[in-house]
Structure 1
Amino acid sequence: MKNIEEIMQTLTLEEKASLCQGATFWNTVEIPEKGIPSILVTDGPHGLRKQTGAEDNFGLNDSIPATCFPSAAAIGNSWNKELIYKIGEALGEECLQEEVSVLLGPGANIKRSPLCGRNFEYFSEDPYLSSSMAKNHVMGVQSKGVGTSLKHFAVNNQETRRMSVNALVDERTLREIYLASFESVVKESKPWTVMAAYNRVNGEFCCENQYLIQDILRKDWGYDGVVVSDWGATNDQVKGINMGFDLRMPYCGEHKTKQIIEAVENGTLPESKLDDTVRRILLLVKKGTENRRPGTTYDVEAHHALAEKAALESAVLLKNENQVLPIAKTDKIAIIGSLAKFVRYQGGGSSHINATVDTYILEELNQNYPEVHYEYARGYRLKKDEIDEAYVKDAENAGKSADKIVLFLGLPNGWESEGFDRKHLNIPNNQIDLLEKLSKLGKPIIVYLFAGAPVVMDWDNNADAVYAMYTAGQAMPSALLKLLFGKVSPSGKLSETYPLRIEHTPCSLNYPELEQAEYKEGIFVGYRYYEKKALPVKYPFGYGLSYTSFEYGNLMVDKKDLKDTEVLHVSVDITNSGNVEGKETVQLYVADKESSVPKAVKELKGFEKVTLLPGETKTVEFVLDKRSFAYFNTQISDWYVESGEYELLIGSSSIDIRVSETIYVESTVTVRKKYDEYVTMDELGKTAVGKNFMGQMMAGMPEGPSEEEKERMLDDEDNIEDVPMDFAAMGQDMPLIKVCDMTAGSFPYEAVNEILNALNN
């Protein structure tokens, strides 16, 4: 492809405008006579969905075979940055074989509510974990010369009315939660494209949102790649181009091109703005074409093996009473549940992959575990939530003759998908009924749960062990059996909280909303909310059991006092104190011991996953910087660290803290507050000017009772009316201007301006 500036010199206005939307559903526009080829983009994010026939963005029509890796909700539970990088590399290799230039993903949206139908495509409820995983996904794919599309930017947290709903979010919440999940991905991994979401944010559609695209993405984060629409998300492309938006997808008709031409001609759109957009699109096309490697093939078996490794590390062992797991191959087992045969290892919608390998549990048992004696029974209907007594009886008979029962439960196809949100957090009633009946047999019951998001689990008291498998990809059956028989110890940790009930979730009172989605919970999403409210949960963020055990010790910091411009080095020793090899995810949280603004009890600020042999000890190291202690201060429109003590909490989950240390961080930034006439007496008293004023004002007032007199009043139980009132406390919330109103002119209004001038200058 020629030099971009040379091409720009030859393009007509009509040609420039034509480049700003797709040529087809998946291809960009080509202009051969000007040396501009077309590139192909396709859906991801956890597999390649390249369609060969009819095109759609809902996963309805056929696509080529590709490796179906665990979805983001599953791989997020691995907490393994190196692993998701390798998955990214594998995805890049498959794109090269199929001549795909951009893979649409990953999704970095925050899991605001577990009801969101698309949560299986997102990593976490926590922005630090989400951005860490997304960043490595992007870097892995792009290391192969294939682009990514970081999506859905931004605040796309419900599927209900997703194309029109207006998300109303305050700036601090946006910055700390919803944009933070994208920020480090954009800055550090530099995705070739960022996909603007369907919804509106604070009144403006994402594809035309000045605050999101121009102010944050372009200016603040320095992003110079292509901003592409979600398919059909553009509403006013001329306005969008003025804000830094680039590429409308898919092709929507020539009238869309004409709108851009007319806008340039009538002055609504400066041609210089259009030129900036076209340059970015041409650079994307240039990178896409120059990185093509005709004849490239990928190793299907190697990619399947990687998918199995990912499924193994993503599985979360939630419960293991009396160490019922792992089981012996000599145990006679009952395999029960339609989901054992009709395995659900991915979600529905645009990410649905035509897997290269499609096996189910029984096939895997027959092929690779011929020595295992098992009996299978369906147990429940999968398409209808109805109790089938014949199925139940078969399951009970199988259970009676078994040593252990392995029961497969979860959400059927159609219960969670792109395009709609769940109405509740329950699994089908017929599955719960079956578990209850099987529990009466007195046999150990091991449950494998399949769902792309949390479910209510008040039924798990009838199970001895529970695995959360999520949507773990095509290799899930083989991974599941390796975990069952103890070939591998589980190492997954929950990337989201499992609440006790839907009513406990942060936005349960108003989720989903149809027109205006008000994010009233603010920064308190996920574990931040449950901990602040002191609400019990079923399974906490970061939680997951192992077949071995780990000990923490020797927490070290390189300094206990630091300025916010310095970095802090932290280390801790982890020892495998059990009898088998295992992996542990070491989690570091930071707690601000005293803050002037509402904050979470603690926040995740670092994590590392380590592999340890029995008896082995390794030192895990973290580096914390200003952002580890900062909140977004809207007064200065920047990240700000308050001087004070911060606690470093290191442990195995958000509630299982093993070691801690307290440090002091000194702020190097002075925040000057702008005071007005409604400054309160309490606020005044905390300033030098205010203290002087308060002293003068109080000088003419009668003194209250002494401490001795107060004590005497409190001891006199016979005079109930004689109570030592704290009149100073009663006036703490009185605004300065009201002092004028309440003093009959003795405190003049002119004095208010004098005090405000002194405070603000």
Structure 2
Amino acid sequence: MFKKTAIVSLFTFIAASYMAQTHTQPVYLDESKPVEQRIQDVLSRMTLEEKVAMLHAQSKFSSPGVPRLGIPEFWTTDGPHGVRPEVMWDEWDQAGWTNDSIIAYPALTALSATWNKKMSWNYGKVLGEEARYRKKDILLGPGVNIYRTPLNGRNFEYMGEDPYLTSKMVVPYIKGVQSNGVATSVKHFALNNQEMFRHTSNVNVDDRALYEIYLPPFKAAVTEGDSWTIMGAYDMYKNQYASQNQYLLNDILKKEWGYKGVVVSDWGAVNNTEQAIHNGLDLEFGSWTNGLSAGTKNAYDNYYLAKPYLDLIKAGKVGTQELDDKVTRLLRLAYKTTMNRNKPFGNIASEEHKAVAKEIGEEGIVLLKNQGNVLPIDINKAKKIAVIGENAIKIMTVGGGSSSLKVKYETLPLDGIKTRFGKQADVQYARGYVGDIGGEYNGVKSGQNLKDDRSAAELLNEAVELAKNSDYVIFVGGLNKSDFQDSEGNDRKSYGLPYNQDNVISALAKVNKNLAVVLVSGNAVAMPWIKEVPSVLQSWYLGSETGNSIASVLAGDANPSGKLPFTFPVKLEDNSAHQLGEYPGQKGELAAGKGKDQKNPINITYNESIFVGYRWHDTKKIKPLFSFGHGLSYTTFEFGKASADKTTMSQNDKISFTVTVKNIGKRAGAEVAQLYISDMKSSVPRPAKELKGFEKVYLNPGEQKEVTFTIDKAALSYFDADKHEWVAEPGDFEAQIGNSSDAIKTKVKFTLK
């Protein structure tokens, strides 16, 4: 891959030198002038061709600047939890660089599971430093699409099912990344909640669900986080593709929210020149061209916002008002990134970066069950430890789609466990099952060949015999990043664990009571063996420090404090999208062959409306396997009785709730106090409760702290679609405080006038 940064810098130097000599330095080079004035000056100097050229790609991951005026090109990169390796200029194949290996950070489900806003800022800062070091201007992430179904292959890249939690976690991430002069590109706007039919679906959702569930994280990202770019999605909404959508991009994003940044298309998401011109798109990437159809030498001239746009302008069929708005936004982005002389240099794979990756992994791991206190492992009683399961030895940073990475290292779970326990105990391994034996994505190879020709019975017998003769058994399984699991492009085919894992887990539970099941996944899974197994850890995809983070929690070096960012239903039918029959789309249309191409879209109707995740389970009283917000600790916490600073609040007022959290156990640890609000009597259907505040508190044994939540009427409001406004109905409400959606510890009633 050939980059032109040096050439652009030379142009900038020549332009500045020439203007200085002639005493006519243009405003756009004068750093003492306001940025908006400088933008208008450079805009006035650009030709029509230069303006149009800025609107579309020039390679797989870059777009042109204006060399004549010293405006640098933009370089983008995946992804949300690590900087993607370099690819060829025009192809997806690897460029073969030897200096593009990085640190992989935990996937965003793990970050969200920390329920720690400070940790989110740390994450963004170190990721932004690596992107800056690699000379990237736009980081294609984070993803904030809401978890609607546990079958969505891309859920591992998102932040869970709750719009409030996602909103609060995404804002510090954005600020951390952008502190390095690297723009985030929050994605995928909007309603991209499944991978199946993502290119050919038309989503039907009521306005109330749109505004209450699916839009809040994007709104927070641009109005609170000031994300400098936002990425459009593939799917259709109101029969228009999301990356060229009047209602989403113009009416909501740019008018209602006043967004001044750049709308970037997802790669190949643009389908029509005139819609792209008029419906809010600013920068087009990845549209398929072959360089031959129009007889042009440069395939990128065929993009919808390239020569076709230029031809329409020259023919007088469209004006230049939209063009100038798009270029203004891109220049605004340039002054924050490519033309920002104050941005830091960045760094890569530092000791700080490794420490942050490990700490986020430790805080994100969720202790789902710990009957009999099997965990943490008592090293004095653990003379022999059996580690069983393919995921203990499988590299997970390669695969999964566009977030696949080339890392400097990845500590596997088995290696982490051996390093931590190997000096005191005999750690032995058995495969247990065979799943995905390879590992390659876009030319990045894991280097592993996990082929094993033994039968399922032979593998199971070996694992059982090892478990029988061990003091502790650690089963490391779950999903992986191969197709139809946790991976972009396709959804999971079923809710259960693949590769005969259920039988392996049940067999191990029968022969050893000291069994800990460690599940690696970005999604909920069925657990038919849950009553047989004493201890379960949800460990996510944890990146370069995976093995060290897991071993730290197993040993008790880190006390688990993660909380689930989404609900684990007992069975798939307990999930609202599946119970109401609208996943993956309307069955009649599937039978008729719709959804096969972009001209033949399939309709996906969100019949569950606002009742997503715990909102559905709690309201319908459907007991989950594990609830939203659930997560245990190696210590015990006690909540005091909550109090409010008033019993009645007005529409323009605020109200505060205070609760004491105390560590009554013997270990230092962290608890997450969660505030839910319940409308006691409403004229419209509302969930039983909704998350409206959370705070993570760290406590030594015997220590207690007060946690205070302050809310205003926004926390009490629902979206009135007819009035197109948020409404807080007067009446009685209840503040419910606990440590998960189904573990409320204390309640306070209050009234809104």
TM-score bin (small chain):
0.7 to 0.9
Q: 1:596 aligns with which of 665, 669, 683?
A: 683
Q: Give the residue type in structure 1 aligned to 2:654.
A: V
- Give how far 1:298 is off: 3.7
* Cα distance between partner residues in 1 of 2:631 and 2:418: 30
For 1:544, the equivalent position in structure 2 comes to 631
For the pair 1:14 / 2:49, whether they are aligned, the reply is yes
- Considering only aligned residues, what root-mean-square deviation do their CA atoms show, in Å? 2.0
For 2:656, the equivalent position in structure 1 comes to 569
For the pair 1:410 / 2:478, whether they are aligned, the reply is yes
Q: 2:554 aligns with which of 468, 473, 484?
A: 484
How does 1:196-595 map onto structure 2 within 5 Å? 196-250=232-286, 253-256=300-303, 257-291=306-340, 296-330=346-380, 331=382, 332-344=384-396, 348-369=400-421, 370-383=423-436, 388-414=456-482, 415-508=485-578, 509-513=581-585, 514=595, 515-595=602-682
Q: Give the residue type in structure 2 aligned to 1:205.
A: Y
Q: Give the residue type in structure 2 aligned to 1:642.
A: E
Determine helix, strand or coil for the equivalent of 2:369: strand
For the pair 1:64 / 2:100, whether they are aligned, the reply is yes
How does 1:603-752 map onto structure 2 within 5 Å? 603-666=690-753
Determine helix, strand or coil for the equivalent of 1:663: strand
Preserved CA contact (<8 Å) 2:186 2:230: yes
- Give how far 1:53 is off: 3.8
Preserved CA contact (<8 Å) 2:106 2:543: yes
Alpha carbons of 1:134 and 1:346: their partners in 2 closer, same or farther (altered >3 Å)? Answer: farther
* Cα distance between partner residues in 1 of 2:101 and 2:637: 41
Determine helix, strand or coil for the equivalent of 2:313: helix
Q: Give the residue type in structure 1 aligned to 2:310.
A: I
Range with bigger deviation, 424-433 or 636-645: 424-433
Range with bigger deviation, 13-22 or 108-117: 13-22
Q: Give the residue type in structure 1 aligned to 2:239.
A: G
Determine helix, strand or coil for the equivalent of 2:531: helix
* Cα distance between partner residues in 2 of 1:344 and 1:64: 18
Q: 1:24 aligns with which of 59, 66, 69?
A: 59
* Cα distance between partner residues in 2 of 1:663 and 1:551: 24
Preserved CA contact (<8 Å) 2:411 2:546: no
Preserved CA contact (<8 Å) 2:86 2:95: no
Q: Give the residue type in structure 2 aligned to 1:42.
A: T
Alpha carbons of 1:231 and 1:530: their partners in 2 closer, same or farther (altered >3 Å)? Answer: same
For the pair 1:47 / 2:82, whether they are aligned, the reply is yes
Q: Give the residue type in structure 2 aligned to 1:16.
A: K
**Identity among equivalent pairs (%):** 38
Q: Give the residue type in structure 1 aligned to 2:555.
A: F
Alpha carbons of 1:68 and 1:215: their partners in 2 closer, same or farther (altered >3 Å)? Answer: same
Q: What TM-score do you get using the length of structure 1 for normalisation? A: 0.85
- Give how far 1:245 is off: 1.9
Range with bigger deviation, 604-613 or 383-392: 383-392
Preserved CA contact (<8 Å) 1:59 1:348: no
Q: Give the residue type in structure 1 aligned to 2:40.
A: E
* Cα distance between partner residues in 2 of 1:290 and 1:187: 23
For the pair 1:114 / 2:182, whether they are aligned, the reply is no
- Give how far 1:325 is off: 0.9
Determine helix, strand or coil for the equivalent of 1:494: coil
Render the CA deviation track for 1:304-355: whole Å, top value 9, x for unaligned: 1110100001101111111111112230211111211125367600011212
* Cα distance between partner residues in 1 of 2:617 and 2:318: 48
Range with bigger deviation, 172-181 or 355-364: 355-364
Preserved CA contact (<8 Å) 1:67 1:357: yes
* Cα distance between partner residues in 1 of 2:742 and 2:93: 39
Alpha carbons of 1:235 and 1:18: their partners in 2 closer, same or farther (altered >3 Å)? Answer: same
Range with bigger deviation, 111-120 or 6-15: 6-15
* Cα distance between partner residues in 2 of 1:222 and 1:623: 27
- Give how far 1:295 is off: 5.5
For 1:5, the equivalent position in structure 2 comes to 40
- Give how far 1:238 is off: 3.0
Q: How many residues align?
A: 666
Alpha carbons of 1:255 and 1:412: their partners in 2 closer, same or farther (altered >3 Å)? Answer: closer
* Cα distance between partner residues in 2 of 1:247 and 1:140: 24
- Give how far 1:366 is off: 3.7
* Cα distance between partner residues in 1 of 2:742 and 2:61: 46
Q: Give the residue type in structure 2 aligned to 1:408.
A: V
- Give how far 1:266 is off: 4.2
Larger radius of gyration: 1
- Give how far 1:52 is off: 4.7
Q: 2:68 aligns with which of 33, 39, 43?
A: 33
Render the CA deviation track for 1:710-757: whole Å, top value 9, x for unaligned: xxxxxxxxxxxxxxxxxxxxxxxxxxxxxxxxxxxxxxxxxxxxxxxx
Preserved CA contact (<8 Å) 1:52 1:64: no
For 2:128, the equivalent position in structure 1 comes to 92
- Give how far 1:40 is off: 0.9
Preserved CA contact (<8 Å) 2:180 2:344: no
Alpha carbons of 1:488 and 1:270: their partners in 2 closer, same or farther (altered >3 Å)? Answer: same
* Cα distance between partner residues in 2 of 1:27 and 1:210: 26
